[in-house]
Structure 1
Amino acid sequence: MILRNVNMVGSNKPVNIRIEHGKIAEITIDSDRMPHEQNQFSFDKAIVFPGLVNSHDHLDFNLFPQLGNKSYNNYTEWGKHLHAEYHNEIAAVLQIPALLRSEWGMYKNLLCGITTVVNHGERSGLKNPLINIFENSHCLHSVQFEKNWRRKLNNPVKKSIPVNIHIGEGIDAISSEEIDLLIKFNLFRRKLVGVHAVAMSAKQAEKFEALVWCPESNYFLLNKTADINELKKHTRILFGTDSTLTGSWNIWEHLSLARKTGLLSDEELYHSVNKTAASTWQLNSGGIIEGLAADLVIAKQQENQTGLNNFFSTTPTDLLMVIHNGGIRLFDKLILPQLPETDLKGFSQIYLDGACKYVKGNLPALINNIRDYCPDANFPVTAKELVQI
C-alpha cells in the first residue's frame, strides 16, 4: 500500500509512505521513487499522524451515560453514590453481555483514530480485534476496591510486567495516603503506571514509571485534575479517556479540554497519545518511522491551521483513513473512488455527524444486538449496512 501526498504533523512538506507487511517500509518526498502498485491512495490537503494510543479505558463500560450529579471527595464516595442513586441505569447496561459491550468499546476508540487502547479490568475476550487491545500489564483496580491488592502486587510470577492501577483519584487526605501505601508495599519495586493521580505529589510521582492523565474524568468527578505541570518533571505523562461513565466518547474533546488547561505543552500533549505512550507500553508504534508498525491516521487538513494546531483541530468527522498494522479499518466516502469494489467487502457504511464513513466489520449488527438487550442504548453513529460483494 502507498499513501501519496500527505503532510506529517509539524511539517508542511508532503510525503509518500509505502507500507509492506504491516510496517512502514519507506517515506520519501520523491513521488517518482514510489512504485505504482495497485493499492495506492492519493490525498489532497491531508495530514498524517501516528494512530492514537488511549492509555486508559474500560472497554465494557462505554454504553453508560455519565453518572454523577455533584463533586466528590474521592472515587469511593462516587462509587457508593453511583450504586445508591443510579441502580436502574446501571442494571440496564449490565444486562448487555460483556463481550458485546467490549466490542462497542473497541469501535468507540476506532472511530476516533485510536489504534491502541489500554483496557483496564477483566480481559475483553475479543477475537481478532480491529485495533490493538493492550492487556499485557498487571491490571489492579485500586487500593480501595481490589481485594488482596498487596498480595497481587507482590506476586513474584508477575514482577517483570508493569502494574496498571487507579491511584490518588480524589482531593482528600485519604487519596494521598493510599499512594504512600501503594509505594510502601511495592516490595519488588515493580514498575507502576498510575491512573488519575489527582492527589499525587511530586515526591510520590518519582516512584511511578508513568501516570495516565484523564482530565475530563477528573473534572467531572472531582472538579479538579492532577498537577500535571509539576508531576511531568518527575515521571512520564500518558493520556486516557476513561469510559463514558465519566466523559465523552470522543477523545478529541478530551484533548481539547486538556490543551485548554495549559498543564502540558502542545508537544507534550501530542506525544502523550503516541511516542511517550508507545515507549511506556513497549509498542512498535507511536511514530511515522520506517520499521514501525503502520498504525496511521490520515485526516483533512484544517483551513488556516498549521503544525500542531492542525492536529488538535481534528474531529472524528475529519478522519479520511485509519490504518492498523497496514490494514484499512476506516475510511471516508471521499476515498471510495480509489478503492476497488472488492475491497469494500466486510465494511459497514455509517454516518457520524452527517459524514459518511466506512468501517471494517458488521457494526449495524452489533448495534442491533445491543439494542435487543437495551433498546435505549445510545450511539454517536448511525449504522446503515454491511457491504456484501
Structure 2
Amino acid sequence: MMDYFTGSQPSPVVVHGGRCAIGPQETTYASLQIADGRVTRILSDSSSLAIASPDCVEIDLSGFLVMPGLVNAHDHLEFALYPRLARPPYRSYIDWGTEILSEFSDVIAKHRSVPKEVRLWWGGIRNLLCGVTTVSHHNPLWAELQREDFPVRVVAQYGWGHSLAFGGDLRVARAATPEGCAFIVHACEGVDEKAREELWELDRLGVLDDRAVLVHGLAIDRSGVELMQQRRASLIVCPSSNDFLFGKLPDLSLLGDISNVALGNDSPLTAEGDLLDEVRFAMRSCDLSSQAAYRMVTEAPAAILRLREAEGTIRVSGRGDLMAVRDTNRDAADRLKMLSLNDVEFVMLGGCVQLASEKVYERLPLPVKKGMEPLWIDGTMRWLRAPVKELLSAAEEVLGVDGVCLGGRSIRIPAGMEAGYVYSNSR
C-alpha cells in the first residue's frame, strides 16, 4: 500500500441531534463531544450549544439512532475477497482444511496473488461497512493492520494459535502471550469425537484457563461447558460457518451457560456474510434473543478480548467509536435484529468519520469530507475514508474487472466517478 493521506479532521467534534443507545434497551436524545479520540461529554440534546465552540466540528445526525461501534470477535482479514470454499458436509475443520488445499488450489493461488496488504485493507473495509469499529484478527498482526489510517481498529495485544491440528506448539504460543491478554485458538470445530476431545486436550496442555478464548466450540457438550466454567474460559461462536461446513448449529441454550460468549463473523471462506448478517443468522437459526445478540457484539467481546477503553459502549472517557442507522423508534437491541450493511449510514472511529451514506455525506462539514472516496456495493453507495480506487485497481489487476467481490458482494466505483474525485477530496 502506498501512503494514504486521509486529511485532517478538526477536534473536538460534536455529534448532535440523534437518539443515542446507552444500552441495548435504553436510549436518550443526546449530544456527544469527542476530543482526542474519546467521548468527553454527553449532554441532553437541548444542551448541545453549551459544548460547541468556534473550533468544534458539528455533525448533525437528526433522524438517526446512534449506537456504539460493534466489536467483531473473530475474523481473518486477509480472506475478505475470497469466495466460500467447501464441498460440505465435513466431520471436522481438519477434513475441510485438508480438502480445500487440494480441491481449490487454483482459486487459492489466484487470490493469494493479490498483495496481502490490499487484501487486509479490504478486510478492514468489510468490517467498516457493517458498523464494526474494533476487530480481532486471528492471524499474525501484520504491520499494515497497525497503521493509523487503517479503516477499523484491530486488536493489537493478544496471543494466538490456529488450532491443535494446524497451530504448532500451543504451549509455546500461550507462553508468548502478553501478560493479561487473551489467548485465542480454534477448538472443537466439528461434529466428531476428535473435535469433542480437543477441549480436554487443551486442558491437558495447560492452556485452558481464564485467558483462553476458544473459537467455534461446536462439539462442546454439557461436561465441556462445566469444564469451561471451572477454567473460566471464554467462547466465540460463528454459527453460519458451522452450519455451512458441518450442517450443525451451536447450541446456544447450552453454550450460553459459559460466562462470556461472543459472536464473530469468521471469514468469507465459510461465513454467510458480515457481522450483521451473522447476527441475523444467529437470531433466526439459534433462537438468540435481541438483547443477547446485542451484548455478543458489544460488551461481551470487549470483555473477552481484554479491551480496556470502553469499546462496545457509549460512555464518557470511552472510545469515540460510533455507528448510526435510521431511527425507527425502536431500541438498539430490537433495531439490531433487522440491520444489514445497507442500513449503516455513519461510522466514526476515535472521533474521525470513516463512513457516510450519501445523505449523511451531504451534512458533513467540508474538512470532514476530505480523504473520503465512494464505493458501490450491491446497490448501496458509501463514502469511505480509504483509498478505494487504488485498492480496487490492485485487486482487479489479479481477479479481473468483474471478479472482485467483498464478502460475496459485488463492488465497484459508482457510475460517473471512475475518472477521479473532485469535490473536496483532493490529496
Partner letter of residue 374 of structure 1? L
Structure 1 counterpart of 2:39: 24
Q: What CA distance in whole angstroms lies between the structure 2 residues aligned with 1:57 and 1:90?
A: 18
Partner SS state of residue 317, structure 1: helix
Structure 2 counterpart of 1:151: 172
Q: Tell whether the 8 Å contact from 1:141 to 1:165 is kept in structure 2 after alignment.
A: yes
Structure 2 counterpart of 1:250: 274
1:191 equivalent to 2:191? Answer no
Q: What CA distance in whole angstroms lies between the structure 2 residues aligned with 1:321 and 1:292?
A: 19
Q: What CA distance in whole angstroms lies between the structure 2 residues aligned with 1:80 and 1:60?
A: 19
TM-fit CA distance, 1:261:
3.0
TM-fit CA distance, 1:266:
1.7
Partner SS state of residue 51, structure 2: coil
Select 1:8's aligned residue among 5, 20, 27.
20
Structure 1 counterpart of 2:364: 339
Structure 2 counterpart of 1:212: 236
Select 2:321's aligned residue among 295, 303, 318.
295
Q: What CA distance in whole angstroms lies between the structure 1 residues aligned with 2:173 and 2:198?
A: 16
Q: Tell whether the 8 Å contact from 1:4 to 1:31 is kept in structure 2 after alignment.
A: no
Q: Tell whether the 8 Å contact from 1:56 to 1:241 is kept in structure 2 after alignment.
A: yes
Select 1:67's aligned residue among 72, 85, 97.
85
TM-fit CA distance, 1:105:
0.5
Residue 388 to residue 73, structure 1, CA distance change in 2 (3 Å): same
Higher mean Cα deviation, 100-109 or 199-208? 199-208
Select 1:98's aligned residue among 113, 116, 122.
116
TM-fit CA distance, 1:46:
1.1
Q: What CA distance in whole angstroms lies between the structure 2 residues aligned with 1:326 and 1:341?
A: 16
Select 2:404's aligned residue among 362, 377, 380.
377
Q: Tell whether the 8 Å contact from 2:347 to 2:355 is kept in structure 1 after alignment.
A: yes
1:40 equivalent to 2:58? Answer yes
Q: What CA distance in whole angstroms lies between the structure 1 residues aligned with 2:134 and 2:237?
A: 16
Partner letter of residue 383 of structure 1? I
Select 2:226's aligned residue among 184, 199, 203.
203
What pairs with 1:80-229 in structure 2 (closer than 5 Å)? 80-126=98-144, 127-128=147-148, 129-153=150-174, 155=175, 158=178, 160-186=180-206, 189=209, 191-201=211-221, 202-206=225-229, 207-229=231-253
- Structure number with higher relative contact order (C-alpha < 8 Å, ≥ 6 residues apart): 2
Aligned residues: 387
Partner letter of residue 30 of structure 2? V
Higher mean Cα deviation, 323-332 or 373-382? 373-382
Structure 1 counterpart of 2:8: none
Residue 30 to residue 369, structure 1, CA distance change in 2 (3 Å): closer
Residue 307 to residue 150, structure 1, CA distance change in 2 (3 Å): closer
TM-score (norm 2): 0.85
Q: For the aligned residues, what is the CA RMSD? A: 2.1
Q: What CA distance in whole angstroms lies between the structure 1 residues aligned with 2:305 and 2:220?
A: 22
Q: What CA distance in whole angstroms lies between the structure 1 residues aligned with 2:76 and 2:380?
A: 27
TM-fit CA distance, 1:150:
3.5
Residue 367 to residue 314, structure 1, CA distance change in 2 (3 Å): same
TM-fit CA distance, 1:29:
1.9
Partner letter of residue 143 of structure 1? L
TM-score (norm 1): 0.93
Higher mean Cα deviation, 107-116 or 182-191? 182-191
Partner SS state of residue 18, structure 2: strand
Q: Tell whether the 8 Å contact from 1:159 to 1:190 is kept in structure 2 after alignment.
A: no
TM-fit CA distance, 1:378:
1.9
Instruction: Provide structure 2 residue ranges, at least 5 long, that are not aligned to the other structure.
Output: 1-12, 415-419
Q: Tell whether the 8 Å contact from 1:194 to 1:208 is kept in structure 2 after alignment.
A: no
Structure 1 counterpart of 2:96: 78
Q: Tell whether the 8 Å contact from 1:348 to 1:383 is kept in structure 2 after alignment.
A: no
Instruction: Provide structure 1 residue ranges, at least 5 long, that are not aligned to the other structure.
Output: none
Partner letter of residue 226 of structure 2? K
Q: What CA distance in whole angstroms lies between the structure 2 residues aligned with 1:13 and 1:156?
A: 44
Residue 377 to residue 144, structure 1, CA distance change in 2 (3 Å): same
TM-fit CA distance, 1:171:
0.5
Higher mean Cα deviation, 228-237 or 359-368? 228-237
Partner letter of residue 405 of structure 2? N
TM-fit CA distance, 1:13:
3.6
Partner letter of residue 373 of structure 1? V
